[in-house]
């Protein structure tokens, strides 16, 4: 299906679920962009979930989002249980504005929901020639190192910096794979990779449904568990949001809003070395790319390059939508 037609259909679905025209535009844009990037676990596969929560009135379709100025650099946003795309979009724009004024922007967001890919927001900052960190918590999916029960989310870590060329954007969950991929595999009856999740009995499983009932494995064992904990503190404890396994699962828990937290840190990279920063970044990248290549590698890519190539490759292509998801969209559009 043509990209513009998909976006139009998604926007129409959000409008039917009482989002404003502006919020429907923002949300549909992010969902379609995820499909273009082949991050399908964060795209159309999640559309029904957002709509179900809007219908249940635990995502607020007409939020009164308030931005509290702490200082010229620091802002605190109460998202009023808005859809995550909207609160995060407002948040990153405020962080960019703050950094342009003072050199640094720190924005915390509470009472939000799932906001898609962190790289969407990092990209906006980098396009404004800023360095950026993005953090968000998520529903319990990882067992802390040494525990048998899930508590931390797949809590992604995202960092971006301008290079004068393709932006350097590292965006990775602290789990072996993100939960969206497992959700999509479950929806479509697909298997998940071996070694990324355990079933309820603590055994490795490739069955997506068993994985959702069990626990996902963190990257690098104790180190990955520690990083997930760090993000839980930064985006949960620090922002006054849910944390410690209290973030509600958007697919399964309709007892109330998720109350997710997001934290954006934007920095003018010229603060210390001025205009030399981009030149030094390019030198840094060149040094890495000149290293001898390991077997099977013709090039050493930096974070962001692969996604950039994928986006350019798919930008003018039709979006392939699995039949099951297409049927979901049709039902949502006749609400």
Q: What is the pLDDT of residue 9?
A: 97
CA-to-CA dists, residue 282 to 19, 28, 276, 278, 300, angstroms: 43, 34, 10, 6, 14
Q: What is the pLDDT of residue 169?
A: 98
Q: What is the pLDDT of residue 335?
A: 55
14-23 as b/e: b if 16+ CB within 10 A: bbebbbeeeb
Question: What backbone torsions phi and psi does residue 253 show, to the nearest 5 degrees?
Answer: -115, 105
Could you tell me the mean pLDDT of each successive run of 10 residues in the chain, 335 residues long? Answer: 96 98 98 96 96 98 98 98 98 98 98 97 98 97 88 96 97 92 94 94 94 92 95 98 96 96 98 97 98 96 97 96 96 81
Q: What is the pLDDT of residue 229?
A: 97
Distance, C-alpha 150 to centroid of its chain:
20
Q: Which of 183, 187, 178 is nearest to 322 (CA)?
A: 187
**Structural domains in the chain, sorted by start:** 3-175+218-272+313-332 (3.30.1370.60)
């Amino acid at each position: 299906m043509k990209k513009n037609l998909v976006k139009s259909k998604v926007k129409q679905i959000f409008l039917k679920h009482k989002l404003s025209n502006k919020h429907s535009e923002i949300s549909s844009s992010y969902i379609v962009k995820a499909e273009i990037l082949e991050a399908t676990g964060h795209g159309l596969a999640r559309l029904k979930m957002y709509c179900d929560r809007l219908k249940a009135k635990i995502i607020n379709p007409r939020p009164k989002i308030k931005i509290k100025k702490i200082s010229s650099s620091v802002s605190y946003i109460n998202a009023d249980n808005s859809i995550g795309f909207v609160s995060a979009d407002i948040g990153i724009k405020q962080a960019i504005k703050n950094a342009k004024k003072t050199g640094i922007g720190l924005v915390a967001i509470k009472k939000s929901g799932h906001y898609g890919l962190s790289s969407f927001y990092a990209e906006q900052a980098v396009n404004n020639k800023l360095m950026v960190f993005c953090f968000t918590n998520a529903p319990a999916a990882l067992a802390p190192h040494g525990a048998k029960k899930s508590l931390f989310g797949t809590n992604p870590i995202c960092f971006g910096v301008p290079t004068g060329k393709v932006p350097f954007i590292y965006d990775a969950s602290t789990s072996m794979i993100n939960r969206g991929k497992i959700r999509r595999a479950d929806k479509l009856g697909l298997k998940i990779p071996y070694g990324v999740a355990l079933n309820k009995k603590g055994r490795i499983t490739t069955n997506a449904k068993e994985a959702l009932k069990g626990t996902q494995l963190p990257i690098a064992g104790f180190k990955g568990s520690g990083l997930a904990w760090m993000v839980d503190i930064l985006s949960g404890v620090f922002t006054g949001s849910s944390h410690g396994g209290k973030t509600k699962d958007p697919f399964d828990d309709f007892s109330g809003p998720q109350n997710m937290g997001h934290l954006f840190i934007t920095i003018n990279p010229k603060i210390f070395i001025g205009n030399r920063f981009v030149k030094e970044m390019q030198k840094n990248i060149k040094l890495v790319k000149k290293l001898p290549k390991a077997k099977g590698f013709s090039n050493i890519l930096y974070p962001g390059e692969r996604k950039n190539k994928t986006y350019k490759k798919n930008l003018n292509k039709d979006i392939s939508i699995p039949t099951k998801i297409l049927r979901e969209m049709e039902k949502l559009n006749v609400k």
